[in-house]
A and B are shown apart, each in its own frame.
Chain A
């Protein structure tokens, strides 16, 4: 079975500091994609960052970067210079490249609060 685990239900960080959210996954596939989605109180899911498993280089998007450890099946999200607008629920998600549906498998989510 393919699963995604986020072991931190809640986290908090002071504004301007750095925080790392953890995610591990389980799959026997070799070709897959990993995602971090942000869900603010408005419920609108927004893609934060994406990583292709065949790429060794970690993805970065402005203040957001990932630490992808394929052998350990770990995919953590680092948020630098945290802003109040980063307060949201963050979901790690995964799908299999050979899948013909592209459906996403999500973790339980981590609620992040950025404090002023």
Chain B
């Protein structure tokens, strides 16, 4: 079946512009995660959605970052007034249920964001 998909694959933007990154999780997966991978760094948790519950936003680095998940499926990560330090690969993952930590997270190919 289809895996997690993300679009765009690459995004180049100018400092100060807003960007939207999209994630399509695996059908039937109720848990969705966003992570950020900066150059030479490991993955950093950003936000988590589980079904219709309130999201866990504890990893968002600033109020310029926001995310939504419509209809329990597609998610959009929005970065407003982008800064050069926002340049990174943004990875999305989904799993059957986030409530059980052993559930495997399946990752998308990521969006590489470059802020000039």
Binding site for B on A (CB under 8 A): 4, 6, 32-33, 37, 42-47, 50, 52, 91, 93, 95-97, 99-109
Contact = CB atoms under 8 A, between A and B. Distances in A.
Interface string B91-114: 101010011111111011110100
Interface string B31-50: 10101000011111100101
Given A50-B104, A101-B50, A43 B89 contact: yes
Interface of B: 31, 33, 35, 40-45, 48, 50, 56, 59, 89, 91, 93, 95, 98-105, 107-110, 112
Given A99-B101, A102-B31, A45 B93 contact: yes
A107 B35 CA distance: 13
A7 to B, nearest CB: 13
Contacts of A42: 109
